[in-house]
Structures are given as structure tokens and as C-alpha cells.
Amino acid sequence: MKKTTVINSELSTVIAGMGHMDWLSIGDAGMPVPMGTKKIDLALTKEIPSFMDVLKNILSELEVQKIYLADEIKTQNPEQLKAIQEAMPGVEIEYMPHSDLKKNLANCHAFVRTGEMTAFSNIILESGVTF
């Protein structure tokens, strides 16, 4: 049995297959996922698991060099923005309109759906290198 923190087999496989500058997205329960993008559905019920629980779990195994967030998170969900920044100090952030973030899900290796129920709790993680 796997000893490290990401034990979901689908998610672990995606992370293991990522290279430098590949994208992985995590989002709230309502985020629409484009046809053709792999969806790893972890949602069990409202708020379980939370966006931040899933993000922290993924960060335990994935080296992230940059993140992409919706502009709207700044005004519509500043608490979540603060939590993201605290979880990834020093990581570059690029903001874009939510509509563009949704379109960019088509460029992700996978989308991880959480039980999160707060607006604009969506992120694209760009993988870095560990050397």
C-alpha cells in the first residue's frame, strides 16, 4: 500500500505523470468541466472534502511553480484567496477572468472536483521541477 499522502489512485497517477509546466486543476462542486478533460470527482457531500483540504494534499506531492486564479476571487472570496496564498507562499499568481479559467480547464491533465461550496474556489496549478 502506498505510504505517501495522496492515496487516491486516479489522482496519484495523474500527479506521477506530470512534467514541468503541466497543469492540474482543483475546483468547487459547481465548476463545469470541458468534455475531454479527465474529472477526478472527490466530492462526497457539501463541503466534504473542502477545496483547501484537497489543495494541501496535492501540494504534499506536486511541485508547483505558478498558479492561476479567477480575478473574481479577490472580491467574491477573499478568505479563500488568503488561504491559498498562505498555503503557497512565494508561488507566482496569475489572475484571469473566471470565464477564461473555465476555458483553460481544457488544457489541464485533470480537474479535481471537491465538495467546496464557496464561489470562485477554483485553481490551476502549474507544475515545477524538483531539481
Q: Which residues are catalytic?
A: 20
Q: Is 22 annotated as a binding residue?
A: no
Q: Is 28 annotated as a binding residue?
A: yes
> Please, are residues 108 and 23 in contact by the beta-carbon 8 Å criterion?
yes
Q: Is 57 annotated as a binding residue?
A: no
Three cell numbers written together for 28: 468547487
Q: Is 98 annotated as a binding residue?
A: yes
Q: Is 53 annotated as a binding residue?
A: no
Nearest to 46 by CA among 28, 71, 22, 64: 28
> Please, are residues 27 and 116 in contact by the beta-carbon 8 Å criterion?
yes
Binding positions for substrate: 28, 98, 120-122
Binding positions: 28, 98, 120-122
